Structure 1
Amino acid sequence: MANTPQAKKRIRRNAKRQTINHSRISRIRTFIKQVESAIESGKKTEAAEALKQVQPEIARGVARGVIHKNTASRKFSRLSKRVAALG
């Protein structure tokens, strides 16, 4: 258990940041699921539109330190590849 006032404050701040970060990650996952569902249904136009929406969300996650830039790049690359394969 934290003994100093500063350590207690860090625990409070970390808990607050954790909830914010979890909500940001959840938002990114939701956008990714929209792209994947459009891909599964075979709707290229919907998938392309959803891909346009997911790209800035992923970039925002990188900028805010929620996900690593390589992870973001990999996710976007794989989604783009799948959308392009719809033909």
Structure 2
Amino acid sequence: MANHKSAIKKARQDEVRRLRNRMYKTRFKNAAKKVEAALEEKNKDAAKTALQEAISVMDKIVTKGVVHKNTAARKKSRLSLKVNALVASA
């Protein structure tokens, strides 16, 4: 356990940040799962709208520094490929 006053404050701040980052990461994952669920149902409209929402969420989380920009770009790219393949298979 931290002994100095500054170390105690830092530990407290780290805990708050950890919980906030966990919330953001959960939103990140849930957005991706929503797109995957729409793809499973082969619902093109739902997949497109879920993808737009997921991209928005991922971009916001990147700006907060919770997830690396390349990680978000990779996830967005893979989801986009799957949605585009579904739409093209009309």
CA RMSD of aligned residues (A): 0.7
State how far apart, in whole Å, the 2-side matches of 1:4 and 1:52 are. Answer: 47
State how far apart, in whole Å, the 2-side matches of 1:37 and 1:31 are. Answer: 10
- Report what 2:31 is aligned to: 31
- The one-letter amino acid paired with 2:45 is T
Residue 56 of structure 1, CA deviation: 1.0
- Report what 2:61 is aligned to: 61
Matched, 1:48 2:48: yes
- Report what 1:82 is aligned to: 82
Where 2:58 maps in the other structure, the secondary structure is: helix
Residue 28 of structure 1, CA deviation: 1.2
The Cα offsets for residues 17-69 of structure 1, whole Å up to 9 and x where unpaired, read as 10011001101111111100001111111100100111110001100011000
Residue 6 of structure 1, CA deviation: 0.2
State how far apart, in whole Å, the 1-side matches of 2:8 and 2:37 are. Answer: 44
State how far apart, in whole Å, the 1-side matches of 2:44 and 2:84 are. Answer: 8
Percent identity of paired positions between Structure 1 and Structure 2:
40
- Report what 1:15 is aligned to: 15
Unmatched 5+ stretches in structure 2: none
State how far apart, in whole Å, the 1-side matches of 2:69 and 2:52 are. Answer: 18
Runs of 4+ in 1 over 4 A off after TM superposition: none
Unmatched 5+ stretches in structure 1: none
